[in-house]
Amino acid sequence: MMKRHINEIIKGDALTVLKTFNSDFIDVGVTSPPYNKQEKHKGWLVKNVKYDSYKDIKSEEEYEEEQINVLNEIFRITKEGGSFFYNHKTRWEKGTMIHPMKWLLKTKWTIRQEIIWDRMIAANIRGWRFWQVDERIYWLYKPIRNNKIGKELESKNALLTSIWRFSPESGQKNTHPAPFPITLPVRIITSILNDNDGIVLDPYCGSGTTLVAAKLLNKKFIGIDISEEYIQHAKQRLQNASFEKKAIQEELQKHIVQKTFKQRKQNGEFTGRHRNNYKINVANTKPQDKQLKLV
Residue ranges in contact with ligand SAM by CB under 6 A: 13-14, 32, 34, 51, 54, 176, 178-180, 204, 206-207, 209, 224-227, 230
Distance from C-alpha of 273 to C-alpha of 259, rounded to nearest angstrom:
13
Q: Strands, E, within 145-198: which ranges?
A: 163-165
Question: Cβ of residue 110: shortest distance to ligand SAM, in angstroms?
Answer: 23
Q: Which is nearer to ligand SAM, 87 or 191 (CB)?
A: 87
Q: Rounded distance, CA 272 to CA 57, Å?
A: 46
| Short-list 38, 33, 42, 32, CA closest to 93 | 38
Q: How far is the CB of 292 from ligand SAM (least distance, A)?
A: 29
Please name the residues in contact with 14: beta carbons below 8 A apart, sequence gap of 6 or more: 33, 70, 203, 204, 224, 226
State the minimum distance, in angstroms, from the CB of residue 16 to ligand SAM.
8
Between 251 and 257, whose beta carbon lies closer to ligand SAM? 251
Least CB distance from residue 106 to ligand SAM, whole Å?
19
Taking the complex as a whole, the smallest distance from the CB of residue 14 to ligand SAM amounts, in Å, to 4
Judged by beta carbon, residue 51 or residue 117, the one nearer ligand SAM is 51
The DSSP code for 144 is B
Cβ-proximal residue to ligand SAM, closest one: 206
CB of 223 to ligand SAM, least distance (A): 9
Query: Which distant-in-sequence residues (6+ apart) come within 8 Å of 11 by Cβ?
Result: 224, 225, 226, 227, 228, 231
Minimal CA–CA distance to 182: which of 152, 209, 149, 153? 209
Q: Of 60 and 154, which CB lies nearer to ligand SAM in the complex structure?
A: 60
**Based on CB atoms, which residue is closest to ligand SAM, 86 or 204?**
204
Which amino acid is residue 293, in one-letter code? K
- Do 78 and 86 meet the contact criterion of CB atoms below 8 Å apart? no
Choice between 84 and 156, CB closer to ligand SAM? 84
